[in-house]
């Protein structure tokens, strides 16, 4: 849910990206024009606020073409990830939202965090809604109305990327259980290499170790997802979830993440694996391309496997992702819709895919994907699929950063794994009551 850049900006200051200095064609075909005929150019600037890492250079390049064709400029305002939601909520609550704002998808996320029925424009009648992956549209829908556009690589889940050459030299097979992962990490550590690069400082990344194996929790405890949504069970009732957090804590205590994981950031992932200092990382599958481009690796030097906590062997998917909402209080709703229509033209979607090394596909049909042989092997090796925890269970995604803080407290021995689950339950109950969820009445 991809290269990140860390910023030390304060919460009150957004980093404005100047379009003239961003992006690049990378040798692919030029982006398509807006296709708007007879409307004339407009001297308008649309403000678009998003979290760090959500707006790619390829979209910024397209925005320059859009401006040249229409006169409508996109002013990207990028806020550090750990500050973004507080900044956005402050603006929305004050009635001062940007023309376009970014947000994660998911029913509880868009209703609780963004109150889209009040703060966002209904986009159900837009042509691109019929083409976007229905599973992505489902994550953006409230009472039959679609409130956002998702353009994201929703198919290439974050998985454990590993150095195949190192594994081969040490005689390590791909782990299929937690115990096998632990044994592999011990062997790697004994060879003088840190087993896993985990950038906990970003605040959100480490939560995926717990959330992504969710389909396996549901398999181990049948109907768990549905029971959680219907308030028939609590997180604290789940032995599978408790086992997962306990295993994550053990990995940390055994030093598998190295000595600096609490200060490590995602932007250094490629460099850390590229130097050989680390053997694995929970990463976007595009990491292999980054290592090939920047560190002399071959694409097939990097293999992939799903997180095996609780012995998970299910390939988890997340149909949601960072999405684009039009603020209901904007003066330029029609122009914002025009921008969305421009981005979703087939040739512009392909341009974004071709010119973004961090993705392999997008959630629209008919595009030429960039899956590598190792990705294809991953898909074939794990035919069983399931939706990750945060995209199925309500009132999880909105508390993502809080869960991250609780897990850090657990790693520091200030909380126990069961305490983390109880804390999640408490926040879910609070959110459900605010939402007047009948299952919590």
Predicted confidence (pLDDT) per residue in 202-244, tens digit: 999 999 999 999 999 999 999 999 999 999 999 999 999 999 9
pLDDT at 108: 78
CB-based contact 99:336 (threshold 8 Å): yes
DSSP β-bridge partners for residue 281:
161, 197
Give the residue with greater pLDDT, 196 vs 23. 196
Residue 276 backbone zone (phi > 0: left; psi -120 to 50: alpha; other: beta): left
pLDDT tier for residue 39 given thresholds of 50, 70 and 90: low
> Each residue of 54-111: pLDDT tens digit?
999 999 999 999 999 999 999 999 999 889 999 999 999 999 999 999 999 988 789 8
Report residue 343 CA to chain centroid gap. 20
- Distance of alpha carbon 304 from alpha carbon 288, whole angstroms: 10
Q: How many helices (H) and strands (E) does the chain have?
A: 18, 14
Alpha helix stretches (DSSP H) within 35-80? 57-70
pLDDT tier for residue 18 given thresholds of 50, 70 and 90: very low
Provide the 8-state DSSP code for 111: I
| Strands of the 194-197 sheet, one edge to the other | 194-197, 278-283, 159-163, 302-305
Of the candidates 252, 173, 175, the one whose C-alpha atom is nearest the C-alpha of residue 209 is: 252
> Each residue of 243-286: pLDDT tens digit?
999 999 999 999 999 999 999 999 999 999 999 999 999 999 98
pLDDT tier for residue 30 given thresholds of 50, 70 and 90: low
- Distance of alpha carbon 110 from alpha carbon 394, whole angstroms: 11
Of the candidates 402, 49, 7, 52, the one whose C-alpha atom is nearest the C-alpha of residue 203 is: 402
> Each residue of 365-404: pLDDT tens digit?
999 999 999 999 999 999 998 889 998 899 998 899 999 9
pLDDT tier for residue 31 given thresholds of 50, 70 and 90: low
Beta strands in 174-321 (DSSP E): 194-197, 278-283, 302-305, 315-317
The overall longest dimension of the chain from CA atoms, in Å, is 69
pLDDT at 26: 39
pLDDT tier for residue 22 given thresholds of 50, 70 and 90: very low
pLDDT at 10: 34
pLDDT at 441: 86
pLDDT at 25: 38
> Each residue of 299-324: pLDDT tens digit?
999 999 999 999 999 999 888 889 99
């Amino acid at each position: 849910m991809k290269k990140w850049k860390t910023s030390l900006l304060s919460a009150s200051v957004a980093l404005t990206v100047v379009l003239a200095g961003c992006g690049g064609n990378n040798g692919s075909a030029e982006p398509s024009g807006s296709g708007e005929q007879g409307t004339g150019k407009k001297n308008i600037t649309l403000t678009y606020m998003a979290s760090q890492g959500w707006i790619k250079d390829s979209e910024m390049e397209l925005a320059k073409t859009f401006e040249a064709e229409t006169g409508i400029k996109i002013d990207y305002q990028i806020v550090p990830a750990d500050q973004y939601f507080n900044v956005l909520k402050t603006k929305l609550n004050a009635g001062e939202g940007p023309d376009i704002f970014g947000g994660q998808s998911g029913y509880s996320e868009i209703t609780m965090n963004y109150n889209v029925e009040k703060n966002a424009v209904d986009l159900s009648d837009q042509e691109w809604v019929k083409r976007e992956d229905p599973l992505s549209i489902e994550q953006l829908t409230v009472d039959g109305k679609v409130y956002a556009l998702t353009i994201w690589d929703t198919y290439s889940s974050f998985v454990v990327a590993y150095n195949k050459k190192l594994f081969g030299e040490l005689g390590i097979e791909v782990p299929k259980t937690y115990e096998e992962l632990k044994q592999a990490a011990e062997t790697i550590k004994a060879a003088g290499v840190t087993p896993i690069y985990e950038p906990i400082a970003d605040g959100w990344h480490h939560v995926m170790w717990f959330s992504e194996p969710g389909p396996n929790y549901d398999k181990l405890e049948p109907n768990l997802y549905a029971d959680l949504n219907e308030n028939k069970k609590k997180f604290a009732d789940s032995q599978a979830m408790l086992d997962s957090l306990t295993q994550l804590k053990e990995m940390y205590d055994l030093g598998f993440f190295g000595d600096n994981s609490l200060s490590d950031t995602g932007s250094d992932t490629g460099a850390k694996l590229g130097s050989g200092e680390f053997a694995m990382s929970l990463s976007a599958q595009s990491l292999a391309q980054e290592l090939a481009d920047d560190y002399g690796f071959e694409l097939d030097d990097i293999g992939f496997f799903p997180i095996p906590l609780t012995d998970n062997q299910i390939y988890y998917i997340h149909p949601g992702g960072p999405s684009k909402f039009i603020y209901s209080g904007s003066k330029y709703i029609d122009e914002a819709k025009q921008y969305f229509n421009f981005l979703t033209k087939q040739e512009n979607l392909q341009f974004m895919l071709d010119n973004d090394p961090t993705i392999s596909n997008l959630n629209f049909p008919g595009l030429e994907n960039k899956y590598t042989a190792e990705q294809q092997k991953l898909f074939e090796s794990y035919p069983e699929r399931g939706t990750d925890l945060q995209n199925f269970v309500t009132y999880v995604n909105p508390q993502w950063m809080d869960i991250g803080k609780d897990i850090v407290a657990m790693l520091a021995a200030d909380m126990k794994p069961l305490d983390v689950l109880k804390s999640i339950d408490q926040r879910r109950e609070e959110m459900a009551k605010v939402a007047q969820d009948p299952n919590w009445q």
